[in-house]
């Protein structure tokens, strides 16, 4: 059997998708290793989760921009991912656009999960966009990352209904249940070297 898939995880938030991935690794359903978790938010929950699980946790100050990283910060992230010998970069609640040099350092090796059925509702708070549009279903999409906003090639999707009385919180929670199932499943394909 080949070696476990070496993952580098980037996240800005609470890290529930990272937790699902780490749980799948621990359960043996995902033959992978989380080599490093990197955040642009110093006190992000995802960094605490990484430390709890004995995974290297690194904060990289993002610089002055709101929606992207300063080039020096992106260089630092590339360095960290390379020094951890990462094969696949997993965006798990990462809230900034990815540019060069990161895109060029990991061509077709950066993936993201987005809380909508792309190409519908790219961008922020996609579940709120779905509610506001009166959609009858919502879901999540795992996709390759390219230079656009949530535009890369789609790897897999999962659907959930929008129910009468749904709030932003109930709909997002329903979508996240599917995210936590789908993301480890897609990564397992990479781990099987398919
Ligand atoms: C998820 O809804 C994901 O789809 C989006 O950001 C959220 C991250 O949640 N990209 P978590 O930090 O993994 O809990």
Would you mind telling me the total number of residues written for the chain in this entry?
A: 194
Checking DSSP bridges between strand 56-59 and strand 32-39, what pairing results, if any? parallel
Task: Return the HEC string of 99-163.
Answer: CCCHHHHCCCCEEEEECCCCCCCCCCCHHHHHHHCCCCEEEEEEEECCCCCCCCCEEEEEEEECC
Partnered with residue 114 across adjacent β-strands are: 141
Quote the pTM value: 0.97
Annotation says 114 is catalytic: yes
Per DSSP (E only), the strands in 60-108 are 88-91
How confident is the model over 61-86, as a mean pLDDT?
Answer: 96
Pocket test for ligand 1, best of 115, 123, 129 (most atoms within 8 A of CB): 115
Q: Which ligand 1 atom lies nearest to the CA of residue 179?
A: 4
Task: Return the HEC string of 45-63.
Answer: HHHHHHHHCCCEEEECCCC
Residue 99, pLDDT above cutoff 80 = yes
Residue 1, pLDDT above cutoff 80 = no
Q: Which ligand 1 atom lies nearest to the CA of residue 19?
A: 13
Query: Which residue minimizes the CA distance to atom 1 of ligand 1?
Result: 93
């Amino acid at each position: 059997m080949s070696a476990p898939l070496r993952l580098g995880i980037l996240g800005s938030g609470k890290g529930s998708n990272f937790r699902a991935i780490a749980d799948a690794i621990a359960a043996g359903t995902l033959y992978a290793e989380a080599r490093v978790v990197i955040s642009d938010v110093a006190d992000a929950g995802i960094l605490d989760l990484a430390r709890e699980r004995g995974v290297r946790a690194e904060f990289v100050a993002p610089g002055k921009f709101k929606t992207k990283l300063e080039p020096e910060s992106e260089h630092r992230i590339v360095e960290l991912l390379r020094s951890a010998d990462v094969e696949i970069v997993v965006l798990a609640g990462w809230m900034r656009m990815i540019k060069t040099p990161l895109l060029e350092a990991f061509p077709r090796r950066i993936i993201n999960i987005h809380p909508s059925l792309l190409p519908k509702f790219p961008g922020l708070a996609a579940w709120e966009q779905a509610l506001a549009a009166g959609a009858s279903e919502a879901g999540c999409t795992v996709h390759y990352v390219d230079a656009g906003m949530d535009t890369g090639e789609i790897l897999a999707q999962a659907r959930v209904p929008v129910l009468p009385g749904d709030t932003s919180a109930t709909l997002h929670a329903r979508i996240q249940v599917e995210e936590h199932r789908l993301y480890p499943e897609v990564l397992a394909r990479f781990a099987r070297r398919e």
